[in-house]
Amino acid sequence: MTKFSKSLVLASMVLLFAELPGAASRNYQERDGIYGEIKFAEFCNMHNGLRYRVIAEAGSRDSRVSRVEFKIYTRYSIGVNIAGQQFGLPSGENWRNLRGEMYNNKWGDKRFYDTGVLFSPLISIIDSPVKFSIHVNHTRGKTIDLGGIVDMGKIEQGKCRVYDDGNFR
């Protein structure tokens, strides 16, 4: 077997196991030289607090992603649970940073950014509308709502909802 034919056999074996590119989800965007989307989001409106997690993809073709800001749109309530009865005062609906944190990237594009599981002792005594978005800061500025807004609808108390685009490319 010649050197060329060995290379050809090796290349064909590599192609068999190569990752085939998947179709992008409906939220995937490329804008300002930055690409990305929200890949996974979970929100639980439980009786003892709110639990949530978001995973996003963000990268750049011609600059460096410096940080990703995760945003949440919801209605919280400050309340207590006394003998199984909940009392509280709902807040207004608005956009907030997830715990006010920014997910920094000091060493170049990471590709995937994960908030980890976050918990807030606030409760929602009413159904809460939930939306997530990401803002990507890069060396040339800031791209707002990259990948669109993931609208999870109104989530009833005691329920969870998951968004998963099912496509980790």
pLDDT digits (tens, 9 = 90+) for 116-163: 888 877 766 677 789 999 988 888 888 888 888 999 999 888 899 999
Neighbours of 27 (CB within 10 A): 19
Q: Give the separation between CA 37 and CA 34, rounded to whole angstroms.
A: 10
Write down all domains in the chain, each with its CATH number in brackets.
27-164 (2.60.40)
Q: What is the dihedral of CA 145, 146, 148, 152, to 10 degrees?
A: -80
pTM: 0.74
Which pLDDT does position 168 carry in this prediction? 57
